[in-house]
Structure 1
Amino acid sequence: MLLLIGMFALPISAKPLGTVGQVFPIAEMDMLDWINARLAVLDENGEMDKMKDQFQEQVKQTVKRPKPVDNISTTTSPRSYLVDPSLTLAQDIKDANGKILFPKGLRINPFDASTWPNGHMLPPVALSKTLVFFDGDDKQQLSWAVAFQQSFKQQHPSKQIKWILTKGAPEQVANILQERIFFDQGGNITRNLKIKHIPTTAEQAKTHWQITEFDVSLLKPFEGAD
């Protein structure tokens, strides 16, 4: 015990002991170098070409058949209602010198020129198109669209229809209607217009959107859509 105590009581001094083994500097591969090296390997073994082909095919399929809009359905109790299109600025809009052109909180109605800055000098706004939303995969809705198109042209020869799909293949529907077809990507338009059911039309009614739903449950399915 005395020996152990004596050892701990001895003064301790530090000194270099030399190099025990070979020393290597700490280094990390740059992330860009790693990516380039990985891409080079993929290019050499042919995986890069496969990935390109898969990506191109994915893009083609997305264009041919975009992702359907969620939370939208048909109805057997159609209704008609108005939607206010007014927008409120969330922040000030300034010019290059910092001068406020349009203040935060300014409420603007796209259909009402009087709510625009200096809008009193502009003529009334008139939207010439009727928006039509429907599911291109639903054969009953396709039957409705064909019938609506014929009736609309007879009743409103000077107006146009803007066809907007919430589901389906735009190219296929374009061949049926012989008109350009759009798609509500991400459901942004139907969400802003508060559309929950299809088929539905949206058209200007003075300073509001007039939304009109239709019941297609009794219609005969369209033939020749496949």
Structure 2
Amino acid sequence: MCLLGIATSTEARDYGQQGAVFPVIERDLLAQIQSRLVAMETSGETRRLNAELKRRTIARVNRPEPVAGLVSATQARSWAFDPTITLAADIRGAKGELIWAKGARVNPLDSVPLREPLLFIDGDDPDQLGWALQQNARAKLILTRGAPLALMKARKRRFYFDQGGKLVKHFGIGALPARVAQEGRQLQVSEVALPAKAGAQK
């Protein structure tokens, strides 16, 4: 009881004002953003930033970031690639019917065959480009470096680009040019060593 009385009296004590008290004043965050945007618009910074973003976007579309780590093939190499995957979840149709159960092993080539080969090349290498253009006329030409839009305009053929190198990493390709073609229920991946140019070696 004594402790309770002491605590009660302590809580009720008036300590008075210990110093000057100022109101808390903060600028509204949206007002700060609006002020900054107005200043940027007035100074022309917004226009400059938009122009720079447009320039970079166009440059990236015309010449995407090249895939790092690839070299020109100096010797032929070939291996089989099994595209079979194990499903991590059930695959169901539009009406909810079960098509494939979780855990099933599925080979995509059974339903979507690779009818034409995939040719991976460095679009800035004229030898690799020439090799690719001499192959199957319906082959998909996939760049890992170069300007796909400019090549399409000049060659009148569709060119693709392996953004981020996802395909070459998936197939394990380390040297170019390379070909991926279907053989039965597997894919055959080949790195092709092109003939050396005369006088290229010292």
TM-score, normalization: structure 2? Answer: 0.78
| Structure 1 residue matching 2:22: 3-state secondary structure | coil
2:132 to 141, 145, 159: 145
Match of 2:191 in 1: 213
| Structure 2 residue matching 1:192: 3-state secondary structure | helix
How many angstroms apart in 1 are the aligned matches of 2:14 and 2:130? 93
How many angstroms apart in 2 are the aligned matches of 1:29 and 1:68? 45
| Residue 122 of structure 2 corresponds to residue 135 of structure 1 | yes
| Residue 2 of structure 2 corresponds to residue 15 of structure 1 | no
Q: Which moved more, 1:69-78 or 1:97-106?
A: 97-106
Q: Relative to structure 1, is the Cα distance of residues 96 and 211 closer, same or farther in structure 2, using a 3 angstrom cutoff?
A: closer
| Structure 2 residue matching 1:133: 3-state secondary structure | strand
How many angstroms apart in 2 are the aligned matches of 1:176 and 1:216? 23
| Structure 2 residue matching 1:129: 3-state secondary structure | coil
Matches within 5 A, 1:177-216: 177-216=155-194
Following superposition, the deviation at residue 184 of structure 1 comes to 0.2
How many angstroms apart in 2 are the aligned matches of 1:99 and 1:111? 22
| Aligned AA (2:24) | P
Provide, for residues 95-140 of structure 1, a one-character-per-residue CA deviation record: whole Å limited to 9, x for no partner: 8999976433222110124xxxxxxxxxxx5432221110011122
Following superposition, the deviation at residue 37 of structure 1 comes to 2.8
| Structure 2 residue matching 1:15: 3-state secondary structure | coil
Match of 2:103 in 1: 105
- Quick one: percent identity of the two aligned structures? 32
Match of 2:5 in 1: none
How many angstroms apart in 2 are the aligned matches of 1:95 and 1:129? 28
Following superposition, the deviation at residue 214 of structure 1 comes to 1.2
**Stretches of structure 1 lacking an aligned partner (at least 5 in a row):** 1-11, 114-124, 154-159, 221-226
Match of 1:78 in 2: 76
How many angstroms apart in 2 are the aligned matches of 1:109 and 1:33? 57
Q: Relative to structure 1, is the Cα distance of residues 100 and 171 closer, same or farther in structure 2, using a 3 angstrom cutoff?
A: closer
| Aligned AA (2:118) | L
Following superposition, the deviation at residue 26 of structure 1 comes to 5.2
Provide, for residues 36-89 of structure 1, a one-character-per-residue CA deviation record: whole Å limited to 9, x for no partner: 332222112110000000000000000011011122211221122211111222
TM-score, normalization: structure 1? Answer: 0.71
CA contact (8 A) 2:82 2:185 kept: yes
